Structure 1
Amino acid sequence: MNAEVQCLVPVARFTPPPLHTVKAANALARGYFKPQFTGLENVNPINPALLVGNHTIYGMLDGPLLFEKLYESKGIVLRSLGDHMHFKVPLWRDVLKQSGAVPGTRENCARLMEAGEHILVYPGGGREVAKRKGEKYKLTWKTRTGFCYMAIKHQYPIIPVASLGADDAFDVVLDAYDFMRTPVARRILKSKLISNQTANGDLLMPLAKGIGPTLIPRPEKFYFSFGEPIDTRPYAGQENNKERLWQLRYQVMQSLERELEKLRVMRAGDSDVGLWRKLLTKRK
C-alpha cells in the first residue's frame, strides 16, 4: 500500500463510534473536570468549518471532551488533524484513530474538506503540547500558515475554539530547556534518530506534577468557548499570497486569544467549584 492510499484510508473508511461508547469512555474525565461550554451556537452542523484551537500540556485531556460535546449536542463527528508525534504514542494513537483523527497533512485535510467534514486543528502542534515553564495557554505557532492555506483554498470558515483548565492541572517541574542544558541531553541529541524524532529537542515533553508529586492531574474545571466564524471568502483565490495568509493567521490568533480571555473571566466568576475541588486545585 503506497503512502497516498494510506493517507486515504482513515478519511474514506472511518465509521464513528456510537455516542454511548464515547460517553462511557469519557465518564470519568467528564465528572473529574466538569467541562463547561459556551458559544455552541457558532457551530452549524450543516456548514462545515475548520475549528482552530490552543493545544494544552500533553494534548490528551481536553480533546476527548470537546469531541463528545459536539457529537452529543450537534451531531458533529469532529475529525482532528493530529501532530505525527501523537500517532507514535502506544494506546493513545489507537484512541485517536478510533475517534477519526488523522495525521495532520495537507493531503488528509484536503480530503476531509472535500468530504464536507468538520475539522479540528491545533496550529501549535507538538511544540505547543511540549510546554515550557511559563507557557500556560501560550500560542506557539511558529511560522505555520498551512491551516490558513487550506481554509482559503477550500473556502472553509474558521471557528476559534479556546480551551482553559488543562494547563492549570499540572505544574512543569523540568522542561526541554532544562534537559537540553545537561551533558546527557547534548550527548543523546547527537543521535540523528533521536534528534529527528524530537525535532532537535523541540518536542521533548516536560516532566510535570499534578496532585502532590504525582502525575495525576488536579481536578481543574475545563472551560471551552467557540468564537464567531471567520469568513474566508474575502481571501478567495489568495491561498498562495503569503501576506494574506499571515493576515488571516493573525486574525485567527487574535480571535482565539479573545476567547481565552472570556474563559478566564468566566472562571473567575464561577462559584460552583466545590470544596474538594478547591482543596485539590489552586482555586481560592
Structure 2
Amino acid sequence: MQVEHDARWIKRLSALSKQYFTPSFFGAEHIDASKPAMYVGNHTLYGIFDSPILIDYLYNQHKVAVVSIADHGHFYLPGWRTLFKKFGAVDGNKEYIRAAMQQGYSILVFPGGGREVLKRKGEAYQLIWKQRYGFLKLAQEFNYDIVPFAALGGDEVFELGFDANQIIESQWFQKLLKVPRLDKLLRHGDVIPSLPKNLIPKRLPFYFQFMPRQNLMHIENAEQLANFREQIQQQIYAGLEHLKQQREVDKA
C-alpha cells in the first residue's frame, strides 16, 4: 500500500487554522521520531480544524509522519478522498493499517471515530469509544507504544443549534432502525449530525497535550487490555483538565 503524505500540502492547509486558532503544544518530550508509535486521543466536533494542525505539528516540528486512520465514509467522494489521502489518511481497514505499520509509519487514532466527531448536545470532550480494542491489539502486535494526547478547543468552536437526538430518539426513526439494512446504513443513528447555529467557528485558542508513552507488551489477557484502555482514557481526561487550567492561566 502506498501512503500519500504531502508535507507541503499539509503545511499550507493547516496554516490558516494555525493563524485562526493559535495552537499551543505541551509534552513534546514524549514525541520521538526515531521510534514509531500510536498517537491516541479525543476527536473533537467535526474534526476538521484541529486534526490538520496536529498532523502538521507532528511532521513539520518533529519529523513524525503519521498515518491517520479515517472513517470509511471519507473515501466515498473522489475530491474529499484525495484531500484526506494527502494528509496521510487511510481507510480504517485493519489490513491497510497493518501495511502502514509494516512500513514504519506512526499511527494517529481517534477511537471514537465518526460517532465522537458527530457529537450531540452535552457531549463536549466525552470519549465515545464503545467496545473498540482493535487499535490496541495492533499496537501490541507491532510493539508500538501508545502516546495518549488531549485536544482542547475544537468542541467549543460551534454552538449546536440542532441536536441529532431530536431525530434519533423519535419513534419514527427508531422504527426505521428496526429494518436491518437501514440500521446498518445509518449505523444505529451514529451518522446523523447535529448542526451548528452559525457556520463561522468561534476564534478560540487550541491546546494539545501529549502524555508519556505506554507499552502493551506486558498485557496477557482481555481483562488487562480493558484496564489498559481505561487507563488511557483517564489520562486523556486528565490531560483535558490540565489544558483547561492552562487556558485559564493564559486568560489571566
Instruction: Tell me which residue corresponds to 2:166.
Output: 178
Give me the whole-angstrom Cα distance separating, in 1, the residues matched to 2:204 and 2:239.
18
CA contact (8 A) 1:58 1:205 kept: no
Cα deviation digits, residues 157-188 of structure 1 (max 9, x gap): 00001110010101122222111244664576
Q: Is 1:31 equivalent to 2:19 in the alignment? A: yes
Q: Do the aligned partners of residues 168 and 68 (structure 1) sit closer, same or farther apart at CA in structure 2, a change above 3 Å counting?
A: same
TM-score (norm 2): 0.92
Counting aligned pairs with the same residue, the percent is 38
Read off the aligned partner of 2:49 and give its amino acid letter.
L
1:56 Cα deviation from its structure 2 partner: 0.8
Q: How far did 1:55 drift?
A: 0.7
Please, which of 44, 67, 83 is the counterpart of residue 56 of structure 1? 44
Cα deviation for residue 223 of structure 1 reads 0.6
Residues 191, 93 of structure 1: alpha-carbon distance in 2 compared, 3 angstrom cutoff: farther
1:79 touches 1:117 (CA, 8 Å); kept in 2? yes
Choose which of 198, 203, 228 in structure 2 pairs with 1:248.
228
Q: Does 1:13 align with 2:2?
A: yes
| Residue type of the alignment partner of 1:16 | H
Corresponding residue number in structure 2 for 1:76: 64
The two structures have a TM-score, normalised by structure 1, of: 0.82
Give the CA RMSD over aligned residues.
Answer: 2.0
Counterpart of 1:4? none
Q: Which one has more relative contact order, counting CA pairs under 8 Å at least 6 apart?
A: 2
Counterpart CA distance in 2 for 1:191 and 1:233 is 42
Instruction: List gaps (5 residues or longer) in structure 2.
Output: none
Cα distance in 2 for residues equivalent to 1:58 and 1:257 = 19
| In 1: Cα distance, 2:229 partner to 2:239 partner | 15
From 182, 191, 201, the equivalent of 2:189 is 201
Superposition deviation, residue 86 in structure 1 = 2.9
Q: CA deviation at 1:23?
A: 2.0
- Counting only pairs closer than 5 Å after superposition, residues 114-133 of structure 1 correspond to structure 2 as 114-133=102-121
1:119-164 Cα shifts (integer Å, max 9, x gaps): 0001111111110111000011111111111111221100001110
